[in-house]
Structure 1
Amino acid sequence: MIISVVCILTGILVYLFDPPNEREAIAPLVDQVELLTRVGQVAPRLVIVQQAAAGGEVETNLTAWLRDALTARGIPRDVIVSRKDDLALLSIPVDQGWIVTQIPDLPPAGGVFHLLLIWLALTTLGTMAVALFFANRMVKPLVLLERAIETVGADGVLPELAMTGPAEVRVAAGALNSLSSRLKSAMESRMRLVAAAGHDLRTPITRMRLRAEFVTDEEDRQMWLKDIDELEKIADSAILLVREDSGKSAPEPIRLDILVSDLVDELRTLSYDVTLTNSAAATALANRTGLSRAFRNLLINASTHGKRARVAVQSSAKDIVVVIDDDGPGIPPDLIGQVFEPFFRVDRARTKQFDGAGLGLTIAKEIVQRAGGSIKIQNGSPRGLIQTVTLPVTHSLPAEPH
């Protein structure tokens, strides 16, 4: 924008002042040559005649144009235009020698447009340098924000940033640190609220269970006890979710193929229809107890809601991929984006048909993300659900696989 304005204003000034070009500027020189020649003839004492022409670099174009102009006027002369010590000199041949006189600087070769191009180039370079300097200062806070977002932990909290650098960066870092502090406080408050609610629910649930035992009608008593069991599972799952969210256990190398194989054997002894179809050796860095709980939740979810589950462990140079698919009805496309929400149920009317509080996938996602991985859930074709867990590979194997 600035360069465009400068170009327009320069063009307007050139148009208004209309500076002469080189050929037009020669006309006064022709008059000067004619005047000095006549003075040398009429009053030779008034001019200084030298034996040789002025030295220096000859201006070939100007010399040729001036000679042509003199010939056109009818006074041909082999004049010489030269430049010496940064001075423009005109040498006029006469009978006794040479008349040498200084002349004003003429427009440079290429005319005014050549100067205009140089001026615009310098303006462009200067404007770009200034613009890059200020753009760099303006972009630094955005770069800081981008880096901070990239380093957000699995708990959703921003790391504390150093308050150094230019004023803009320090202001941005301070704002991000303040945001991180408030976000962390809000998340801890939420976790405390969930934990307190789950803990405090246990007392009235226990009282309700005791009272339900005194219900005389057997059918009503069993219905009460079943509802109370569901409430108790919801409270326990809420407390478990808080523990997983705030867990600080150190990660360790885990042979994921062995872990999944052990889980499959365990669930099969509990009458779950789970089959291990592929088991590639692979090692992940995670908390063993948490990762075991995550895959147990996913496998139970597939075998319970999908009738039967199949699991495959695949490995590449960078990632470990665990694919769990089932033969169930899948999830409606408009609801599949909500599967990781706490207490989510595909069909509320079928809630009582299956045990659990609807927190299995939520807890599994928390654990996998903390290990640096991700979970993707999609419908199979033509039916069923596919749960895909991706974890980064670690190349340090545990000495004794558990």
Structure 2
Amino acid sequence: MFRLFTHNDLDGVGCGILHRLAFKDDTYIRYNSVQGLDFQIERYLETDRLEDIVFITDLSVNTENAQRLEAYKVKGGKVTLIDHHKTALHFNEYDWAHVTVEYEDGRLTAATSLYYEHLVKHHYLKRSSSLDQFVELIRQWDTWEWEKNETLDAKRLNDLFFMLSIDEFEERMVKRLQESDTFSFDEFEEKILDMEETKKERYIRRKRRELVQTFIDDYCVGIVHAESYHSELGNELGKDSPHLDYIAILNVGGKKISFRTIHETIDVSAVANQFGGGGHAKAAGCQLTEQAYKFYIEKPFTIESLRVDALKNQHNLKGNQAGSLYADQKGSLFFIYPRTDQSWTLEQNDSNKQAFSTFEEAERHIKRNYSAWLVRDDEYLRFLAENPNHSKRSK
């Protein structure tokens, strides 16, 4: 029997779909959480079934199970581990493990794309246009390349995955990939995906108003409690508040934390690793351990939510040559205006002047250190009327 132990997200289930297509009914597939894999592997190895062919994809085992798998292989067992996470690279010391983070052309890998190539190479599966398209959508979603490439179908495929049970999603995809030369969504799926997009946008807007900000170690972190849409939520909050180094999304019921960042210089897999988790540089996760609880829930509990920048202003605009006005929870006002030498001045409460080379640097400073927000036009115009010298300075 061809056994597969894989992750229970889209990338892991993509491997399951390929496995089903390759081995038909002679299969056993177990979808696991990150924490659940080791229990399943240990229990399986106790059966000592040397006749099976075992694959592990999109997840890595602990040290004890790595040693057990090595002993299983020495006894004649057939096992292959395929992963794409940087935190799993050390498994390449075993001849049964294949961990590749990046292709030679610079594209990031996904477990589904690596497993597809493995199955094709060993003649378990025949390449097709529909499979190529399906695998590439999953790869772009999992590596977040879909946004840069504007491959919206990759995002919609993940949306569909979360709207269906794993069994139903797997059944739909297997049938479609067997019957069609190209991969596309059917009419029913298109309709429910459009409805889901509207629902998701409302959810993200609501969660934006619940975001709190604090410093954890040297990072300026945005923290929000949410049970749904973690990838999209983390990405949108990160783009909306680029002064934050990363976003921590807490699911207290599931006792999990997801970490997301939009910055190339931040590696959230290293953050997750501190709490026994892992993942990618821009997307990672871990269990809500006792230590993580103190950092992300207990200490920030009393912090006020971040105020949203005024959205419909016509006068108080970011980078305005007439100056931009911000406020914080303590009632302090921050006025940023250009100088004649093309630098920018930041005044706090009409004093305490600081110079910055760009407007963005000045704004980043007050947002990180004071959680300030862009005020509405009415407050801005009243401020200029009461402080005419600011208008003169900014000209």
Decide: shared fold, TM above 0.5.
no
* Structure in which a larger fraction of residues adopt helix: 1
Normalised by the size of structure 2, how large is the TM-score? 0.20
Normalised by the size of structure 1, how large is the TM-score? 0.20
**Which has the larger Rg?**
1
* Higher RCO structure (Cα 8 Å, ≥6 apart): 1
